[in-house]
């Protein structure tokens, strides 16, 4: 069973959502080919396939046309973490912590991220969206702490739409640029969510 999915021109996270639905519809092994128009969609689809432990490859057909081929094997479940492990996600939606004084808020979030490097156990994920993505970009005062957390195994994801909105997509210096589907899915599979 082979299927081709045209996701050209679709905004994030629609290519991932549509590909996941198409993968779930497979009743036997086959190839799902997804056509997209940007490299971020290719990366997001690649991560989706790898989560299911499916073989995946991609090819750039032209300046704005990519093909992602996913070898679908029905019956395989996504790898959502170790059985019995409590998954913790930290969700950061602003470059400031709390409301009121922005200067204080920026100092607080920096202190929060530093403190996070010293807790045990560390969180599994840190998810950035809205102006929170600025903390993962070049020039962020929290960058060193975030890099230390990543080295220690914490997965860091920044919303691609948000990074584009703040013109820092090319400046994200830690973790990966992700999509809202992955951010929501990660929260749905978390046992604990911390929002500073």
Cα distance between residue 118 and residue 132, in whole Å: 21
Contacts 24+ apart (CB under 8 A), 104-109: 106/141, 108/196, 109/135, 109/142, 109/196
pLDDT tens for each residue of 97-154: 999 999 999 999 999 999 999 898 999 999 999 999 999 999 999 999 999 999 999 9
Cα distance between residue 54 and residue 114, in whole Å: 36
Cα torsion through 20, 24, 25, 27, rounded to 10:
140
Token duo for residue 69: 């081929």
Say yes or no: 101 and 24 in one domain. no
Quickly count helices (H) and strands (E) in the chain. Answer: 6, 9
Residue 79 lies in a domain: no
Axis-axis angle for helices 143-151, 102-116 (nearest 10): 20
pLDDT tens for each residue of 43-72: 889 988 988 889 999 999 998 999 999 999
pTM: 0.74
Cα distance between residue 47 and residue 40, in whole Å: 11
Residue 135 domain boundaries: 88-194
Say yes or no: 92 and 162 in one domain. yes
Number of domains in the chain: 2
Say yes or no: 108 and 35 in one domain. no
């Amino acid at each position: 069973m082979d299927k081709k999915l045209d996701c050209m021109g679709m905004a994030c996270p629609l290519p991932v959502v549509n590909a996941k639905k198409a993968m779930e519809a497979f009743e036997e092994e086959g190839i799902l080919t997804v056509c997209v128009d940007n490299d971020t969609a290719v990366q997001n689809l690649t991560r989706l396939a790898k989560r299911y432990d499916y073989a995946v490859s991609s090819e750039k057909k032209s300046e704005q046309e990519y093909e992602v081929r996913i070898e679908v094997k029905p019956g395989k479940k996504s790898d959502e973490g170790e059985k019995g492990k409590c998954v913790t996600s930290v969700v950061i939606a602003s470059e400031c912590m709390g409301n009121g004084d922005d200067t204080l808020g920026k100092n607080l979030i920096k202190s929060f991220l530093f403190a996070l490097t010293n807790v045990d156990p560390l969180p599994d994920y840190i998810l950035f969206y809205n102006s929170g993505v600025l903390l993962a970009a070049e020039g962020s005062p929290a960058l060193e702490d975030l890099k230390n957390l990543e080295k220690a195994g914490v997965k860091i994801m920044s919303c691609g739409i948000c990074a584009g909105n703040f013109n820092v997509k090319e400046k994200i210096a830690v973790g990966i640029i992700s999509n809202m589907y992955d951010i929501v899915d990660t929260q749905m599979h978390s046992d604990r969510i911390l929002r500073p």
